[in-house]
Amino acid sequence: MSRNVNIVILCEDRQHEAFARRFLAQAGKGLRVQRVEVNPKGRGSGEQFVRARFAKELAYYRQRQHRVEQALVVVIDADRRGIEERVSQIDDAATEGGQERRRADERVALFIPARNIETWLAYLDGQTVNEDDAYPRLERERDCQRHVEMLYEMCQHHSLRPPAPPSLEAACAEYRDRLQA
């Protein structure tokens, strides 16, 4: 990213937040996390929270994008639905909230780990993973720093270690296309 960019992170849980914050910190000096909207612990489904808030955050982004460099980063697990279905749900949430679907020229990035972010963490630990199995959580959210560093290096070189989870390949492309532009 070129200039200073204020970023809003919309995510399901604290692990998503820790991962996104650390990745963005790796990405450069010009990035500043302005605000994080995370599902309050014990308050229902994280993915429903993200979908319910998406139109509001998209409207906020669009109101400010011409005055200040802005970006919206959304982290939502695919769970058992798949990436395409989750993207469709996010698009539907935008239109139901009175917003157009995100446009190609907008800095609105969707990071959708499949099955969930623990799949990415296991892959970054060197395991061969699939996007159907459940993988264990980290003991502490902040322990994802080494995973983030590895992912950032791989994304910078456009080269994930094969076989990479398709959702992680999509996330690297989303980062390059939406946030690095």
Confidence at residue 2, expressed as pLDDT on a 0 to 100 scale: 47
- Separation of CA 171 from chain center: 7
- Residue 80 tokens read as 């058992």
Q: How many structural domains are present in the chain?
A: 1
Cβ atoms of 115 and 79 closer than 8 Å: yes
Domain range enclosing 114: 5-179
pTM of the model: 0.94
Cβ atoms of 54 and 74 closer than 8 Å: yes
- Go through the chain and tell me how many residues it has: 181
pLDDT tens, the chain, 181 aa long: 446 889 999 999 999 999 999 999 988 766 788 899 999 876 779 999 999 999 999 999 999 988 888 999 999 999 999 999 999 999 999 999 999 999 999 999 999 999 999 999 999 999 999 999 999 999 999 999 999 999 999 988 889 999 999 999 999 999 989 988 6
Confidence at residue 8, expressed as pLDDT on a 0 to 100 scale: 96
34 SS3 class: strand
Confidence at residue 4, expressed as pLDDT on a 0 to 100 scale: 80
DSSP 130-151: -SSS--PPPSSGGGGHHHHHHH
Confidence at residue 39, expressed as pLDDT on a 0 to 100 scale: 94
Rg (CA), the chain: 15
Across the beta sheet with 31-38, what order do the strands follow? Answer: 31-38, 5-11, 70-75, 108-111
DSSP 26-68: HH-TTEEEEEEEEPPTTSS-HHHHHHHHHHHHHHHHHHHTTTS
Confidence at residue 14, expressed as pLDDT on a 0 to 100 scale: 95
- If we measure between CA atoms, which residue out of 66, 99, 69 comes closest to residue 8? 69
Instruction: Compute the CA torsion angle 79, 122, 84, 43 (nearest 10 deg).
Output: 30
